[in-house]
Structure formats: C-alpha cells, structure tokens
Amino acid sequence: MTGVRSLKIIRVQGGKRETVEDRITEEISLRLLAEHRRIAELMCSPGDLEDMVRGFFFTNGFIQKADQIRRIVINRATWSAFIELDPEIDAGSFRLSGVIGSACGSTLPVDEDSAAAGVGQEERGEVRPSEVRPSEAGLRVSAQYIGALMEAFRAQSEHHRQTGGVHAAALADQKDILVFREDIGRHNAVDKVIGACLLLGNNFTDKLLLTSGRLSSEILHKAVRCSLPIVVSRSAPTDRSVALARERNITLIGFARGQRMNVYSGAERVVVEPL
C-alpha cells in the first residue's frame, strides 16, 4: 500500500513483551516551487500529491480554476513539486512561505512576532475577501443518507485500518461518494479531494465535504473558499468553526456516527424522517 511501511517493534501486553511487525504511515516533506520561487513546504503523505498541490493552490486563493495550473511535475527523489502556472498568475504575489506541519492548514507566518507565537494566518481568523464566497442554500439531504454516507466513508479508510495514522476526506453528491483521499494531515486530505474534484469542474455547491478530523476554522475556510454547503465529520467542531459556519450559511455536522449526529449550523438542509 502506498504510504505505508513495515518495521519491527517491541509490543508490551499483559506483562509480556514480544517482537512483532507493525505498519506505520510514511511522512514526507514536499517542497512547492512555482516560477522558480519556493512557495511552501508541506508535511504530508506521499500519495495523490498532484491533487493536494492543486487543492492547496485553490484553497489558498492562488488560482480560481484548475486550468490555471498548466502542469505539476513531482520529483520523488527530492520530494519537490514544480508547478507551471498560467502566465496571468503571478507567483510573486503569493503570501505564503514556510514549512506547513501536517496539523496546520496554512503556512507559518513570515513576520517574526507571529512566527514566535507559532500561529498561522487562518488560525488568527484572517481570510482575504476574494477567498470568501457564501455557500448556496439549495442542497438538502436526509439524516439517514448522511449516516449511510459516513458508514461508506469509514469503510473506505483502508490506510487508517492498516496504520491508525491518517485522516480521511471525501466529496459526495446526493447519490454517492465521488472522491476519497487520505493523508497524515486532515487539511491535506481536504485539499486532496478538492484538487481532484477541480478536474471535474469548479462547482462545489451541490457537494458534501466529509472528514474524519476535527472541524477547525481552517477546514471551514476551505469549505467557504469552495462554496461547499454541507460539511460533515465524525469528530468535533471548534467554536470558531461554528461561528464561521453560521455566518456563511454552511451546514456544519459533527459526531456523525450511524444515525446520530450533532447539527451546529444550517439545520434546514438536513431532512429528518422517522425511522
């Protein structure tokens, strides 16, 4: 399986120790280069890297549509991604620079005061006006369908079953899961499904974003950027993500497990029918 390694470990159980073979997930540092400029360095899993780069550029507002990236070349010997952009895109205007940890949704800031605090641009609640588009309210789905989607979503998480070390994300419509990806970072997994979906077209307004990770404000900023109307997770939201979801009219659902879920915002899109 791509992104998984086997190694010998010592397992201690019931007062005994034994040598066993275990599987762990791989982590790489991917350098992003555009127009000979170092844009960022992402800590991530080694699979679906083109999707992640495309999604990262879109959710950070560097591009508005998929064809503004002409080509992505991944050098796996040096773990570098060379991105050829449309001539109308000026890489010199990109604001990000630095190493992005697998737990972060934005690069570490380049100004010294913010860097010392260890807080990223989106964690401070900042988002450029051009990146904010309210989600449309037309999509409505049943609670039973959301429960079925999350069960299918969990069933696809093979990498997680092997290692327990990755997050998953998916995009679905009213019929099924369309795109599924995994990564050590929940933000990377979301960027991967967004990047893959961009190749199918730029319309996200009839899609649901599914994720296994915590619903932080960084994840919600990505949903806002795509005008996604519904975001669902097996995990918990933060207060800032709930506030942003309510402000932007996004349906935010946490703790979605089986037929149980908490709806924190946009409950009008969730149809509840007696079982």
Structural domains of the chain ordered from first start: 28-126 (3.10.20.10), 141-271 (3.40.140.10)
What is the arithmetic mean of pLDDT over 27-31? 95
Task: Look at the pTM and tell me if it is higher than 0.85.
Answer: no
pLDDT reported for residue 80: 97
Percent over 90 (pLDDT), the chain: 67
Distance CA 227, CA 172 (A): 14
Containing 117, the helix (H) or strand (E) segment is: helix 112-117
Q: How confident is the model at residue 141 (pLDDT cuts 50, 70, 90)?
A: very high
In whole numbers, what is the pLDDT of the chain averaged over residues? 84
- CA dihedral sign, ordered 239, 244, 245, 249: positive
Q: What is the pLDDT of residues 159-183, one digit of tens each?
A: 666 777 789 999 999 999 999 999 9
What is the arithmetic mean of pLDDT over 67-95? 93
What is the SS3 assignment for 213-272? CCECHHHHHHHHHHCCCEEEECCCECHHHHHHHHHCCCEEEEEEECCEEEEEECHHHEEC
Listed range (99-108, 203-212, 234-243) with the worst mean pLDDT:
99-108
pLDDT reported for residue 165: 74
Candidate list 44, 104, 197, 226, residue with the active-site label: 104
What is the arithmetic mean of pLDDT over 74-99? 86
Calculate the CA 102 to chain-centre distance: 11
Backbone angles phi, psi at 133, to 5 degrees: -130, 125
Percent over 70 (pLDDT), the chain: 81
Q: How confident is the model at residue 158 (pLDDT cuts 50, 70, 90)?
A: confident
pLDDT reported for residue 154: 92
| DSSP three-state, residue 155 | helix
Nearby residues of 187 by Cβ (< 8 Å), 6 or more positions away? 103, 104, 105, 218, 219, 222
Q: How confident is the model at residue 2 (pLDDT cuts 50, 70, 90)?
A: low
pLDDT reported for residue 226: 95
What is the arithmetic mean of pLDDT over 242-265? 96
pLDDT reported for residue 12: 95
Q: What is the pLDDT of residues 173-221, one digit of tens each?
A: 999 999 999 999 999 999 999 999 999 887 899 999 999 999 999 999 9
What is the arithmetic mean of pLDDT over 22-34? 92
Is the pLDDT at 107 greater than 60, yes or no? no
What is the arithmetic mean of pLDDT over 40-52? 95
pLDDT reported for residue 9: 86
> DSSP per residue over 163-191, as a string?
HS--EEEEEE-SSSEEEEEEESSHHHHHH
Q: Is 104 labeled as catalytic in the residue annotation?
A: yes
